[in-house]
Amino acid sequence: MEYLRRTVDDELDDLLALAPAVAIDGPKGVGKTDTASRRASIRFLFDDPDHAALWQADPVMARVSSGTVLLDEWQRFPEVWDVVRRAVDAGAPAGRFLLTGSATPASAQGTHSGAGRILSLRMRPMAIHERGTARPTVSLARLLDAAQADVGGSTDWAVHDYFAAIEESGFPGIRTAHPRLRRALLDGYLRRIVDRDLPELGVSVRRPETLRRWLNAYAAASSTTTSYSRLLDAASGGDGSQPAKSTTIAYRDHLTQLWLLDPVPGWSPSRSPLTRLQQAPKHQLADPGLAARALGLSARTLLSPSGAHLAGPFFESLATLTVRVAAQAAEATVGHLRTRNGDHEVDLIVEGPEAQIVAFEVKMSASIGDADVKHLLWLRDQLPEQVVDLVVLTTGVHAYRRRDGVAVVPLALLGP
């Protein structure tokens, strides 16, 4: 299968020239090993017994030759983290270590955090601009760097293309498979969470169906700030039984360890007169395709009357994934804004390294009216020195600027 270059490839090119150790974190199947292997001259793949035995014979890697060492699925041997940290302290050269992990092991609690020694880099499922099916013309980095950056371009993507992109998922080994096989692979991915991934973390799931119900409830709450207590209610069984709150908190924590939950935090402005902001996160699974499969949704059902209530939230999930991948490359953070009384909401706030802000609204529509930009214009009025651009992401054809300065950008045209 042809390798499609990821946005994180550019980040790795920059960081490995500067840092002795970089850890790539993300859920299983996201492409960490493939991406990291392209930069490694020595590989320890710890899910391979032979590789694991080879490392155990020389755990301090005293006999490992020069070059970049890949330590794949390092969480299987958490002591690897401290070995790398000590090597960095001893003067390891730039680009010496690449670590990849699809879980944060509970047994790593006794290890050093690695702060200041090992850089952490998040790898998410493939954003639209990484899939080779769309050609972006609008750069998020440019929007952050220059007020009123040029916006233009057109796309042949229509609404059904976005929902097909959701259905196919952003996992590189799954998305191009035959639809029948792809569904089976996503179903297997969800089953493996319960049957294999959590037990590998030392977690015993006594009632697998309860976990599945909670995960489905979380998927159904995508792009919302639904309280965890309401998720608990939604996870009740047909017999009225409800899991204990402590049980579902444990689910949330363990799924976070597996990088499967990727909530968007409430935005906390670093220097802002705004007050009374709600800090509840917006719920997102790591991949909107996984969330859709958990609920048995396809592109066709999302576009039908029966799935219409979830079409907007799932389109926002796809937009959120695309914005986050691009924002990370620009050293920016992503949050959302909602005032406590709910009178002002902005779907995504991208804050750059110099506190500059690009605010996004996500609209599953091809045309945009004044009502669609009122919260963006309000935010610009509140923070005129920080807000450098305002954007509405749509399902339309053309990218352009409105007279009020708001950029209207089809989602398929947004890139890093």
Beta carbons within 8 Å of 184's beta carbon, 6+ residues apart: none
Rounded to an integer, what distance in angstroms lies between the CA atom of residue 124 and that of residue 288?
11
Closest CA to 58 of 87, 91, 35, 37: 87
Rounded to an integer, what distance in angstroms lies between the CA atom of residue 179 and that of residue 350?
34
**Given phi > 0 = left and psi -120 to 50 = alpha, else beta, which region is 324?**
alpha
Q: What values do phi and psi take at 226, rounded to 5?
A: -50, 130
Rounded to an integer, what distance in angstroms lies between the CA atom of residue 299 and that of residue 159?
10
**What are the structure tokens assigned to 34, written together?**
């493939």
**What count of Cα atoms within 13 Å lies in the side-chain half-sphere of residue 372?**
19
Which residue matches tokens 């697998």?
A: 208
Residue count of the chain, please give it: 416
Closest CA to 228 of 194, 258, 255: 255
Tens digits of pLDDT across the chain (416 residues): 789 999 999 999 999 999 999 999 999 999 999 999 999 999 999 999 999 999 899 888 888 888 999 999 999 899 999 999 999 999 999 999 999 998 876 544 444 445 668 999 999 999 999 999 999 999 999 999 977 788 999 999 999 999 999 999 999 999 999 999 999 999 999 999 988 888 888 887 878 888 888 999 999 999 999 988 888 887 776 656 677 778 778 888 889 999 999 999 999 776 666 766 778 999 999 999 999 999 999 999 999 999 999 999 999 999 999 999 999 999 999 999 998 888 899 999 999 999 999 999 999 999 999 999 999 999 999 999 999 999 999 999 999 999 999 999 999 999 99
pTM, two decimal places: 0.94
Three-class SS of residue 69? strand
**End-to-end CA gap in the chain:** 24
Rounded to an integer, what distance in angstroms lies between the CA atom of residue 172 and that of residue 269?
35
Evaluate whether the domain defined by 7-122 bears CATH number 3.40.50.300: yes
Closest CA to 28 of 97, 69, 79, 76: 76
Angle between helix axes 308-329 and 7-16 (nearest 10 degrees) is: 20
Rounded to an integer, what distance in angstroms lies between the CA atom of residue 410 and that of residue 150?
15
Task: Provide the pLDDT for residue 231.
Answer: 85
The answer to whether the beta carbons of residues 105 and 200 sit under 8 Å apart is: no
Name residue 100's beta-bridge partners.
Answer: 24, 72
Rounded to an integer, what distance in angstroms lies between the CA atom of residue 296 and that of residue 183?
9
Task: Provide the pLDDT for residue 242.
Answer: 74
Task: Provide the pLDDT for residue 116.
Answer: 66
Name residue 120's beta-bridge partners.
Answer: 23
Task: Provide the pLDDT for residue 109.
Answer: 46
Task: Provide the pLDDT for residue 331.
Answer: 97
**Which CB contacts under 8 angstroms, 24+ apart, belong to 184-190?**
186/289, 186/290, 186/293, 187/293, 189/28, 189/29, 189/290, 190/215, 190/290, 190/293, 190/294
Helix (H) or strand (E) holding 407: strand 407-410
Helix, strand and coil percent figures for the chain, each rounded to 5: 40, 15, 45
Three-class SS of residue 309? helix
Domains of the chain by residue range: 7-122, 128-415
Closest CA to 250 of 187, 191, 202, 190: 202
